[in-house]
A and B are shown apart, each in its own frame.
Chain A
């Protein structure tokens, strides 16, 4: 095709957005991270913005609350991502095994939570974690088990549960679609070779859907690193979640509670670098394993 004009017309609206809501803001975040508002003298007189180099970065990286948040999100990823990938893949393999009943109804049921907005999923589970409201806690109480879902050691698994509940079915559908695309001849051949259903699932099918596993893993990672909605909502009800519980909450707190734009921008850039590095790391690691 030759018409350059037509191509430009079709591309223009998207690229206008790309520049205004992505490139300029990303650039601005980097730019802001090198500046700070300094008040001259004893806090009197007009504020001025001055270049401070890496001072904000040093401040963020030596702030224990930020490092704690980063650690929290790493723990969250270590708990959440394996559970999610293994859980969704297991369900997809079971549904694909040929003996599952009511397959499309089961898929619909598993997928349903994905249609529940994140904040509402968090609300539902918050109520299911709240003593007095929760039938789950009552059930445990009847068996004489006291359980506190929002305690110091349980609050992170409780957040993992909300995310798992929301996304398990969605990722299961992706894996299931990939499994359906596996050529039937390959499976028939493995049966002839004497592979049982479990061996077939683990040795034949799973390696064939590697691509989908990596895609789901990376998207889950990127989302998990942004952890914000669930802890922010839960923080209304438990003192175990501070205002700087995760890096995203730290950024929000720095920017809009403390009005320290330089600090917020530096934390943003660090989170961005962390996300990009981990995504590339995972991609390279999985590519090498494939080779």
Chain B
């Protein structure tokens, strides 16, 4: 390719990377500044990182720490349970045959299409009937449902668990469930991590459902908490540095998870798109 072509390719990619990275860098930089420096767009003045962190965790009697803990509980436990449930079902879809299997699978895929906003009101009414509104469970249980995870689980079971291995286990006299838990699940490990990561992101991002279900601030996840603080910031600007600092902290766990588990999310996205 010509030199001009090469340069153009790299410049376009470079500019796009600047577009994706600069706002995050602004967040990091802004998190170190006090209110005055923030509003004067003074790029390097008014350094008060330590004070911002202290303010963040002291604001409103330490609510932020509480929200962070909630988000971790909702997301980590929720994603683990959800991955376990989805992969078991995906595995069963691949390895067993029963009547109307493909129709049932079609229903699972159709569920991917249904907007969350459509389900929110009925879920709220059901939770209210069951006395679960404004509790941990109202946010935790619906987030376990991941139909796309079942779709991926089926692809993983097809790819990672050869039927011969299951046949061998059966000849050795192992029951189906024992085979699943002792043999198949181990082979599905990488797929499980992928599903865990996907659902971790989804639940950490979850905003609509908590907004509908929760009125007690102490149960809020970080997303909803920051939303609330941002609305306070429009009236009292001392909230701005706190919201910015809080946003930075809220971004960290996912970036960390993706860095550490890079190869797993790539596997999942590829499986979803290429097949």
Residues of A within 8 A of B (CB): 1, 3-7, 9-11, 13-15, 17-18, 20-22, 24-26, 28-29, 32, 90-91, 94-95, 97-101, 106, 109-120, 123-128, 132-135, 138, 165, 168-170, 173-175, 177-178, 181, 197, 211-212, 215-216, 222, 225-226, 228-229, 232-233, 236-237, 247-248, 251-252, 255-256, 261, 264-265, 268-269, 271-272, 275-276, 279
Question: When the two chains form their complex, are residues A115 and B251 in contact, meaning their CB atoms are under 8 A apart?
Answer: yes
Cross-chain contact of B13 among A106, A126, A175, A271 (Cβ < 8 A): A106
Contacts of A248 in B (CB 8 A): 115, 117, 208
Among A6, A32, A229, the most chain B Cβ lie within 10 Å of the Cβ of: A6
- Nearest B residue to A197 via CB reads B1
A138 to chain B, nearest CB (A): 5
Expressed in whole angstroms, the Cα–Cα distance for A18 and B208 within the complex equals: 19
Q: In the bound complex, do residue A123 and residue B226 qualify as a contact, i.e. CB atoms below 8 Å apart?
A: yes
Q: A14-B85, A173-B266 are in contact. Are A119 and B115 (CB under 8 A)?
A: no
B201, CB-defined interface residue at 8 Å: yes
> Closest approach, in angstroms, between the C-beta of B79 and any C-beta of chain A?
14
Q: Which residues of A contact B96 (CB under 8 A)?
A: 1, 6-7
Listed residue (A25, A113, A255, A276) with the most chain B CB atoms within 10 angstroms of its CB: A25
> With a CB–CB cut-off of 8 A, which chain A residues contact B111?
18, 22
Return 25 A-B CB contacts under 8 Å, by A number. Answer: A3-B177, A5-B176, A7-B96, A14-B150, A18-B145, A20-B126, A21-B119, A24-B122, A26-B122, A28-B125, A99-B5, A106-B14, A110-B17, A110-B20, A115-B201, A118-B205, A123-B247, A133-B41, A135-B26, A174-B269, A232-B227, A248-B115, A252-B117, A255-B120, A275-B115
**How many A-B contacts are there with CB distance less than 8 Å?**
265
How distant is the Cα of A275 from the Cα of B154 in the complex, in angstroms?
Answer: 25
Chief secondary structure at chain A's binding surface: helix
A39 to chain B, nearest CB (A): 19
Let me know if A251 and B145 touch, CB within 8 A: no
* B1 near A99: Cβ-Cβ < 8 Å: yes
Using a Cβ–Cβ cut-off of 8 Å, how many residues does chain B contribute to the interface with A? Answer: 93
Residues 112-138 of B, flagged 1 when their CB comes within 8 A of A and 0 if not, give 111111111111111000000000000
B118 touches A113 (CB 8 A): no
B208 partner residues in chain A, CB cutoff 8 A: 228-229, 248, 252
User: Could you say which of A13, A24, A237 has the most chain B C-beta atoms within 10 Å of its C-beta?
Assistant: A13
B13, B19, B177, B274: the one contacting A6 at CB < 8 Å is B177
Q: Assuming the A-B contacts A25-B119, A117-B204, are A6 and B250 also in contact, with contact meaning beta carbons closer than 8 angstroms in the complex?
A: no
> Which of A20, A165, A173 is within 8 Å of B23, CB to CB?
A165
Contact of A132 among B39, B126, B257, B269 (CB under 8 A): B39
Q: Which of B26, B125, B226 contacts A119 (CB 8 A)?
A: B226
Cross-chain contact B274 with A113 (CB below 8 angstroms): no
Are A120 and B247 interface neighbours, CB within 8 A?
yes
Check if A10 sits within 8 Å of B119, measured CB to CB.
Answer: no
CA distance A165 to B121 in the complex (A): 30
Question: In the bound complex, do residue A118 and residue B207 qualify as a contact, i.e. CB atoms below 8 Å apart?
Answer: yes
B270 within 8 A of A: yes
